[in-house]
Amino acid sequence: MNLELSEEQEAVRRLARDFVEREVVPHATAWDRAEEVDRGIVKKLGEVGFLGLTIDEEYGGSGGDHLAYCLVTEELGRGDSSVRGIVSVSLGLVAKTIAAWGSEEQKRAWLPGLTSGEYVGCFGLTEPGTGSDAGNLTTRAVRDGGGTSRSWGSPRSSEAENGGGAGSGGDYVVNGTKMFITNGTWADVVLLFARSTDAPGHRGVSAFLVPTDTPGLTRRAVHGKLGLRGQATAELVLEDVRVPASAMLGPEGKGFSVAMSALAKGRMSVAAGCVGIAQAALDAAVRYAGEREQFGKTIARHQLVQELISDIAVDVDAARLLTWRVADLIDRGKPFAVESSKAKLFASEAAVRAANNALQVFGGYGYIDEYPAGKLLRDARVMTLYEGTSQIQKLVIGRALTGVSAF
Ligand code: FAD
């Protein structure tokens, strides 16, 4: 087993580090206070290739393997989780899912825009009444033969580009509400999950690619978040939204499989972002401990401060290794979903612990947002909640080990 990064991977990491130091770190506190990341960051992320990682070059992607994707995600997470989330969702949950499940026409219509940063994507699974129990979502897509909606595709697509997953011809009329949607107010396209047949539970769910300017789709920003304050989180309301059948991604009734396959890889990306948070906590704690003096010596010389720092360091290493294992499995074409749940479970809990330990090292100054620990803790806290809570990850792992489902 070789845990050394290749030259190419080292170069990607350096590129990401430089980008984050230049374009993200200097602004992160201001964006957090303003509750808005500068939208110009999307174009910059596209230009440097970070929105096209693992996507084929013929669709505008920048190629690369999943370890490179993790390295970039970690660096972005180190700089600002709100920026990391843009990539994890627009590329990780949307573009990569179109690449995996989309028709040729769907890939050509959406991927160049998503990978360049011309478009932003969002992932519409959660509803006000269904979070962990996503298979019981209630948004309805009812087949209607009229076929009056505009041509399918991206905002710039033509009739000729039309085509899609399931049936062709006719429309679906969609009604429902989606909650907590990352990138929601910014997005040009939502990967939307809706119940399109009467089959019970997750078997009735299908996936659709819906341009967010489709009549009947409205968005409301969610404010007052504990962390990720710079991130555009939204509630999406769909009232009689007409979607052509060609907008379906993957086969009818397979929408839950589309969602779960997206989240299995997405959890690796969240885990990598958590490694970034924990690394930032470690760097900040070590620096501060070497500067701050109490009892006539730097606090780094106090054993209990060293304990806090070493606990963070072990969490960083363990979370990173679990995350890299997932990337390695994906790149070798091996099963990875359970390992992804393990990485996400451990890394998210570790990021919360690490940020909390760093805050302790900073003492009272850790409680003030001129110092980084408070934001790291606030941003880390959501990681144990989204893309499956820690409890849900344990049920996924437990099911794989025991062969029985406790859901
Ligand atoms: P619930 O499912 O109501 O859970 C409440 C509690 O009950 C949790 O502790 C949970 O672990 C526990 N619980 C539930 N079921 C079980 C069980 N079977 N056994 C044991 N414990 C259980 N969703 C999207 O679709 N797209 C996004 O882009 C997106 N971004 C988000 C961004 C933010 C900032 C936030 C906060 C959420 C986002 N989400 C998104 C939604 C997120 O995925 C859900 O919040 C999450 O899945 C949990 O659902 P819930 O909030 O409804 O909690």
Tell me the per-residue pLDDT of 105-149, one tens digit each, with 9 for 90 and over: 999 999 999 999 999 999 999 999 999 999 999 999 999 976 555
Structure tokens given for 107: 């890939």
Tens of pLDDT, residue by residue over 235-250, are 999 999 999 999 999 9
Ligand 1 lining (C-beta closer than 6 Å): 89, 122-126, 131-132, 180-182, 225, 228, 233, 382, 385-387, 389, 391-392, 395, 407
Highest CATH level, class, for 7-120:
mainly alpha
* Residue nearest ligand 1's atom 8 by CA: 389
What does the pLDDT read at residue 36?
97
User: If you measure from the C-alpha of residue 274 to the centroid of ligand 1, how many angstroms do you get, rounded to a whole number?
Assistant: 18
The model's pTM: 0.95
Q: How far apart are CA 73 and CA 143, in angstroms?
A: 39
Q: Which of 171, 177, 215 is nearest to 193 (CA)?
A: 177
Q: Looking at the DSSP assignment, which residues form a beta bridge with residue 180?
A: none
Q: Find out whether 142 and 173 touch, Cβ atoms under 8 Å.
A: yes
One fold for both 122-253 and 257-402? no
Which H or E run includes 75?
A: helix 66-79
Neighbours of 124 (CB within 10 A): 31
Extents of the domains making up the chain? 7-120, 122-253, 257-402
Q: How far apart are CA 212 and CA 165, in angstroms?
A: 19
Q: Left (φ > 0), alpha (ψ -120 to 50) or beta: where does 240 sit?
A: left
Q: What is the DSSP string of 88-105?
A: IIIIIIIIHHHHHH--HH
35-61 CB burial, b ≥16 within 10 A, e <16: bbbeeebbebbbebbbbbbbbeeebbb
Ligand 1: which atom is nearest the Cα of residue 178?
25
Mutate to test the pocket of ligand 1, among 180, 205, 381, 395 (most ligand atoms within 8 A of CB): 180
Ligand 1: which atom is nearest the Cα of residue 382?
36
Q: What is the mean pLDDT of residues 293-303?
A: 98
What does the pLDDT read at residue 407?
92
Catalytic amino acids?
A: 387
Fold designation for 257-402:
Butyryl-CoA Dehydrogenase, subunit A; domain 3 (1.20.140)
Cα–Cα–Cα angle for 114, 151, 141, rounded to 5 degrees = 85
* Residue nearest ligand 1's atom 20 by CA: 391
Which H or E run includes 183?
A: none
Burial of 247 (0-12, 13-18, 19+ CB in 10 A): buried
For the ranges 69-83, 159-173, 186-200, 384-398, which has the lowest average pLDDT?
159-173
What does the pLDDT read at residue 148?
54
Q: How far apart are CA 116 and CA 84, in angstroms?
A: 16
CA-to-CA separations, 2 to 6, 11, 326, 391, in angstroms, rounded = 10, 18, 15, 33
Tens of pLDDT, residue by residue over 22-58, are 999 999 999 999 999 999 999 999 999 999 999 999 9
User: If you measure from the C-alpha of residue 257 to the centroid of ligand 1, how many angstroms do you get, rounded to a whole number?
Assistant: 18
Q: Find out whether 310 and 317 touch, Cβ atoms under 8 Å.
A: no
Positions of E strands within 248-317: 248-249, 293-294, 297-298
User: If you measure from the C-alpha of residue 247 to the centroid of ligand 1, how many angstroms do you get, rounded to a whole number?
Assistant: 27
What does the pLDDT read at residue 150?
52
User: If you measure from the C-alpha of residue 1 to the centroid of ligand 1, how many angstroms do you get, rounded to a whole number?
Assistant: 36
Structure tokens given for 263: 């989240």
2.40.110.10, 3.40.50.150, 2.140.10.10, 3.30.420.40: CATH of 122-253: 2.40.110.10
